[in-house]
Amino acid sequence: MMIRRKAAVAALGVAAAAMLAACGSDDGSETDDSMAGDDAMTAGDFPEGSTMAALAEAGSITIGTKFDQPLFGLKPPSGDPVGFDVSIGKIIASELGIDEDSIEWVETVSANREPFIQDGSVDIVVATYTINDDRKELVSFAGPYYNAGQALMVMVDNEDISSPDDLAGKKVCSVEGSTPAANIEENYPDAELSLFAAYGDCLDPLRNGQVDVVTTDNVILAGYVDQYPDEFKVVGEPFTEEPYGIGLAHDDTEFRMWINDVLEEIFEDGRWLEAWNENVGDILPEPEVPTVDRYEN
């Protein structure tokens, strides 16, 4: 049970802010780390009744991410997943005063992201999740925190596919409920599309010739090429825009704007780039800082 001490906490907040302002100029290093420390946020730091207050009060958060996508979300046989999406999730948790060990990671594949948000199985989704209008009917998105684009991956010795215009009559593998699959269905109807639950499921069919090409976002494919450079290659240029957002409950605008504030803060203070460099920086070029879209709904 929680007893609200809003006025006292607010007063303390003012005093603490004054103290910080007084000593903050010492070495300018107050943006040091993303770990929840002694000055971690607590429920009283957030508006009463907000999702932020509820999560901070619970001291835990459930985050949906991918488990089979190297670089962004990959779960080792034992232990928690790692990747850029995972790091972004950890930063959001830390801003709620929630320690890494108190994050529950749930695998979200492409097709179950909206249902998992809608039925409360997860609090947020950070999972190479493209922001688009259809999805915005069902869930809301903070972000973007990265801009990807759809691309193609083939076996290293394949010479006949280098752009989506080469897909007619070709066997194309992608994932149910994904934007790349929808794009092929709509705009490249002569491709023979096979859909699986997760992108990792396309790798063996590509190896054994059941499919000719795998399509999804360039950064996901880059992760597989990094894992299996002797087998796979990415061909051509990205041919769509896939702005990655953080999915959350539809119309929780207060929570959405708060996550947007966190994103803008970490774009600014270096934590976003640090997360990129830790996970992806050796493989992919440094991205441009995205512009958060505080859309009206």
What residue spans of 112-252 are helical by DSSP H?
A: 113-118, 133-136, 179-187, 203-207, 218-227
CA distance 200 to 207: 12
**Residues of this chain that bind ligand GLU (CB under 6 A):** 110, 127-130, 175, 178-180, 216-217, 220, 242
Tell me whether residue 127 or residue 161 sits nearer to ligand GLU (CB atom).
Answer: 127
Considering the complex, state which of residue 44 and residue 143 has its C-beta at the smaller distance from ligand GLU.
143
Where helices occur in the chain by DSSP H, the ranges are 6-23, 51-58, 84-95, 113-118, 133-136, 179-187, 203-207, 218-227, 253-269, 271-279
Judge whether 148 and 214 are in contact, CB under 8 Å.
no
By beta-carbon proximity to ligand GLU, the closer residue of 36 and 151 is 151
Q: C-beta of 69: minimal distance to ligand GLU in Å?
A: 7
Tokens representing 117? 């948000």
110: left (phi over 0), alpha (psi -120 to 50) or beta: alpha
By beta-carbon proximity to ligand GLU, the closer residue of 129 and 196 is 129
Of the pair 44, 200, the CB lying nearest ligand GLU is at: 200
Q: Which residues contact 8 (CB under 8 A, 6 or more apart)?
A: none
Q: Are 151 and 218 in contact (CB under 8 A)?
A: yes
For tokens 């190479």, name the residue. 128
> How far apart are CB 65 and ligand GLU at their closest, in Å?
10
**Closer residue to ligand GLU in complex, CB, 83/180:** 180
Closer of 87 and 130 to ligand GLU (Cβ): 130
CB neighbours of residue 152 within 10 Å: 28
The CB-of-117 to ligand GLU minimum distance in angstroms stands at: 13
Shortest reach from residue 24's CB to ligand GLU, in Å = 39
Residue 209 Cβ vs ligand GLU, minimum distance, rounded to whole Å: 24
Min. distance of Cβ 287 from ligand GLU in angstroms?
Answer: 15
Contact 72, 84 (CB under 8 A): yes
**In the complex, what is the shortest distance from the CB of residue 162 to ligand GLU, in angstroms, rounded to a whole number?**
21
Task: Give dist(CA 66, CA 175) in Å, integer.
Answer: 13
> What letter represents residue 25's amino acid?
S
Minimum distance, C-beta of residue 129 to ligand GLU, in the bound complex (Å): 5
- The smaller minimum CB distance to ligand GLU, of residues 64 and 97, is found at 64
**146: Cα separation from own chain's centroid:** 8
